[in-house]
Chains A and B, each alone.
Chain A
């Protein structure tokens, strides 16, 4: 019986790997927000790194979900978080550029 993988072990290993890489992305997003020089570059760090980390966490948790419905709900959470991040980052960046333009007008 060697060489026969138990499905649970493979699924658990996949989950562990995805969650570890996802947490690393979250860590890099926080490091970026602390170390980058400018508000707009920090916005990049938050939006890109954190959303990739969230995506990896969702992908890692899908093998652990009980049914197809709960896996679909996890993907829905990721999609909503992506849309919210896209809208938020646009709003924050437009407020930064309008503030800079107002400061130049003075």
Chain B
């Protein structure tokens, strides 16, 4: 079971790395913002699967904080974009 969890976590990490292409290519600011959002959600999933794989329930608390910070992340990006656009 642990091997399966580690395999799922590795697979999710690979999909995450594949999405980096959108950060490099993304023509607009919003593309990079939504890739950050993808990182947040996929990161939470990786942390949850790792918590099951390593049998450490404390990692679930880390995933909770990560999900909260994902919202703060996007808010900061958007505030920046609004400020830059209104100049």
Contact = CB atoms under 8 A, between A and B. Distances in A.
Interface of A: 12, 15-16, 19-20, 22-23, 26-27, 29-30, 33-34, 39, 42-43, 46-47, 50-51, 53-54, 57-58, 61, 64, 66, 70, 73-74, 76-77, 80-81, 83-85, 87-89, 91-96, 98-99, 102
A50 B67 contact: no
A98 B19 contact: no
Of B12, B16, B37, B41, most A-chain CB atoms within 10 Å: B41
Contacts of A39: 26, 28, 30-31, 34
A23 B11 contact: yes
A70 B57 CA distance: 8
Interface in B9-41: 11-12, 15-16, 18-19, 21-22, 26, 28-31, 33-35, 37-38, 40-41
A95 B42 contact: no
A46 B28 contact: no
A90 B86 CA distance: 19
Interface in B48-87: 48-49, 52, 57, 60-61, 63-64, 67-68, 70-71, 73-75, 77-78, 81-82, 85
Contact of A43 (B15, B34, B61): B34
Nearest to A12: B1
A39 B22 CA distance: 11
